[in-house]
A and B are shown apart, each in its own frame.
Chain A
């Protein structure tokens, strides 16, 4: 009996870990573009952040609030972490779990910042937080942190 309950606990543990790992997928720029192109939403707010970036962590709740308060609209908020790939299971997954993030979270799977930074936006110096707004064919890139009011204003302007 003891062995059986141990087994259940063990299996439960394995499943919950894998479920949480699935919450943070690796994603390269091509996949990000595909996700946006094939998604059923019309507006995409893509926030670039990292677990080591204090101002990013400070503004993450604003992105959670934005999607929660606009559930009826065709909006998708994608949180793309720029943490090192080696920190996925040690830092990013536990962080996402602890903060109970509801938006989709990815970890950027690119190795050359010379290419991917320009592919997101040529004006980007590479500092984070930074956010890309996409509505249909329109793109707007902002390289700074937001208050909720500023984020809402940018979203409404689209």
Chain B
């Protein structure tokens, strides 16, 4: 009997370990709601934007050079699309012990310094990071609000130009929102890009 319980416990822990580094959501999946602490100490969820038609959820951080490279483009996305019903919601997926420059205080400093026009949320315990299966920074999830709930429409990169040097770039995120606004499904629903790993505490 003891053996069976032990086996069951092992199977369960293996299952939990699997769930912890969950698979990345894709277009068509339900976008899980959250309630996370913003840099202004208020909690933010999808419901904080009652008039939104959708959301640009960006997993990004203080430290990753790719995230830093995209910072202004994330600010610009919010400036352009919040008024059109698609606000940016930024979430820092990094564990503050594993990445000491990504603590809540340092997030507050950066948001203030760069005058973030969007919420920048702290994901305690990396729970929402794992529910979305965010794997890197920056990693974006574009979500639309439908009669059936919040649905993921696009997962991947903001554009195809991390270095910011291309004259003709493909602006994936903007193209997705343009499609959604005209009542169509986006042509591209998934892209891949290089980025930094989500920082986690070392496993015991």
Question: Residue B192 contacts which of A50, A55, A118 (CB distance < 8 angstroms)?
Answer: A118
Check if A26 is an interface residue, CB within 8 A of chain B.
no
Once the chains bind, are B163 and A127 in contact (CB under 8 Å)?
no
Chain B neighbourhood of A10, CB < 8 A: none
CB-CB under 8 A from B197, the residues of chain A are 55, 127-129, 143-145
Q: How many A-B residue pairs have CB under 8 A?
A: 58
Q: Which B residue sits closest to A108, measured CB to CB?
A: B194
> Does B51 touch A at the CB level, under 8 Å?
no
Dominant SS among interface residues on chain A: loop
Cβ contacts under 8 Å, B199 to chain A: 55
Q: Using CB atoms and an 8 Å cutoff, list the residues of chain A in contact with chain B.
A: 50, 52-55, 82, 84, 86, 112-114, 117-118, 124-129, 143-145, 147
- Describe B's contact surface by its main secondary structure: loop
CB pair B65 A127 closer than 8 Å: no
B contact residues, range: 20 to 34
Alpha-carbon distance A158/B204, docked complex (angstroms):
24
Q: Is the CB of A86 within 8 A of B165?
A: yes
What are 30 sample pairs from A and B whose C-beta atoms fall under 8 A apart? Answer: A50-B194, A52-B65, A52-B66, A53-B196, A54-B63, A55-B196, A82-B194, A84-B162, A112-B160, A113-B160, A113-B194, A114-B160, A114-B191, A114-B192, A117-B192, A117-B193, A125-B135, A125-B136, A125-B195, A126-B136, A126-B193, A127-B136, A127-B194, A127-B195, A127-B196, A127-B198, A143-B135, A144-B197, A145-B197, A147-B202
